[in-house]
Amino acid sequence: MKRLLQELLTVGLAAGVVLLTQDRPYPWSLWAAITAALLLPLRLRWPWLASLACVPAVAGGLGWAPALVAQYRLGRTEKSIPLQLFWVLSLTVAAVAPVLLTETIPPASLLLALAFAFGLAAAPTALGALVTTRRDLTQSLYETRRARASELQAQETSARAAERARIAREIHDAVGHHATLIAVESAALAATATDPSVRETALRLRSLAKESLSEMRAALGLLNSDTTYPSLSELVDRARVAGVSVTLSETGDASLPPAISRALFRVVQEALTNVTKHAPGAAVTVTVDRAAPVRVSVVNGPGTLPPSDERGGAGLHGLSERVRLAGGTLTTSYRPDGGFTVSAVLPPGKSKVDAQDSTFGGGGTAPTDA
């Protein structure tokens, strides 16, 4: 509707200017100009056709109003400068030729008439071309800015990835060096110790050091294959060897996606680590239901021995993020008897972490207050 009203206004103004002109050099001048005004909507699809209709109107002396509109549209749409110049010269010749054929004018007046007609035809054409050029330049500038922003974003992403890789390498070199030393010295201690319990403890420390190094490499993306890790039963057995009284209850199907299994393992591991540090001597109950959705709960009573002097870290915060990435929720709460509860609900299906992502060695290992 807006377009229709605009066209009606354009045609009406052009025709109105023609009708208000009193000087009509030729009998056909009025009809040629009115026809050119009525054909102006053709410029939207065929600008050259509208300009062609204006040639006889300009020759009649009354067609400059529709010609200005047609030439502006021609300048907006026509990219070829020779074609623009052709139609400008056509209108110029059409305006001057009838005068040359019917009157005798001095050369100076002829040059002035040619310049006036040429300027009158060229001005709207140049204005239309200028508007189109400005629009194209604005669009090009916008595209350039968008490409520059994308390039900067890609550079920032690349820089962050490079920095993460550098930090991962430094962590691997530093922690890996110490873990390797622990494994080597534990092996040496096991080889030289005469006490069976000392030898068993040294071998267990060596195994834990090697496993920690493997998990760290997997977490930092330094291994191509998934790391194998103990079952919950083995994890609980290790806690029992360390002096924790743990009761494990598992129900439901044992097959779970790797990401869910890792998250489940880390929930139990982090909870047992907190118990050994902050509630030593407490009885712990681990309950796992592998049905949909997967539920795990680790409940400990109050500690009976003095807690460790080591301050808590951000283990539960990291564990909460790990569970969230797996598509689940983690809740923690203090019990009235002074104990603590860590529970999580995990989806049985596809998580937000892909099955190939190495998340096994990540944030859940850091300690925190429990």
Q: Is residue 23 a part of any domain in this protein?
A: yes
Cα 36 to Cα 21: distance, rounded to the nearest angstrom: 15
299-330 burial by CB neighbour count: b if 16+ within 10 A, else e?
bbbebeeeeeeeeeeebbebbbebbebbbbeb
CA angle, corner 355, sides to 353 and 361, nearest 5?
70
Q: Is residue 311 a part of any domain in this protein?
A: yes
Cα 55 to Cα 32: distance, rounded to the nearest angstrom: 9
Where does residue 125 rank: exposed (0-12), middle (13-18), buried (19+ CB within 10 A)? buried
Q: Is residue 150 a part of any domain in this protein?
A: no
Taking residue 263's Cβ as centre, other Cβ atoms within 10 Å add up to 29
Torsion angle (degrees, nearest 10) of CA 155, 156, 157, 161:
100
Q: Is residue 53 a part of any domain in this protein?
A: yes
For the chain, list residues with pLDDT below 70. 173, 221-229, 254, 308-314, 349-370
Number of domains in the chain: 2
**Are both 239 and 135 inside the same structural domain?**
no
Say what the pLDDT of residue 312 is. Answer: 57
**Contacts of 125 by beta carbon, 8 Å cutoff, 6+ apart:** 71, 72, 74, 75, 84, 87, 88
Global pTM reads: 0.43
Say what the pLDDT of residue 369 is. Answer: 38
Domain boundary among 109, 139, 169: 139
Q: Is residue 256 a part of any domain in this protein?
A: yes
Say what the pLDDT of residue 314 is. Answer: 63
Q: How do strand 283-289 and strand 245-251 relate by DSSP bridges?
A: parallel
Provide the domain limits for residue 124: 2-139
Say what the pLDDT of residue 351 is. Answer: 42
Record the tokens describing residue 54, joined without a space. Answer: 């204006």
Q: Is residue 174 a part of any domain in this protein?
A: no
Cα 166 to Cα 44: distance, rounded to the nearest angstrom: 60
Farthest-apart Cα atoms in the chain, separation? 132
Say what the pLDDT of residue 182 is. Answer: 86
**Are both 235 and 112 inside the same structural domain?**
no
CATH of the domain at 246: 3.30.565.10
**Are both 358 and 242 inside the same structural domain?**
yes
Domain boundary among 139, 157, 182: 139
- DSSP structural state of residue 281: T
Q: Is residue 155 a part of any domain in this protein?
A: no
Say what the pLDDT of residue 313 is. Answer: 58
Record the tokens describing residue 319, joined without a space. Answer: 């564990």
Record the tokens describing residue 350, joined without a space. Answer: 């596809």
Q: Is residue 298 a part of any domain in this protein?
A: yes
Domain boundary among 105, 139, 173: 139
Say what the pLDDT of residue 352 is. Answer: 43
Say what the pLDDT of residue 295 is. Answer: 92
pLDDT in tens, 118-165: 888 888 999 989 999 999 899 999 988 988 888 888 888 787 777 777
Record the tokens describing residue 247, joined without a space. Answer: 């009761």
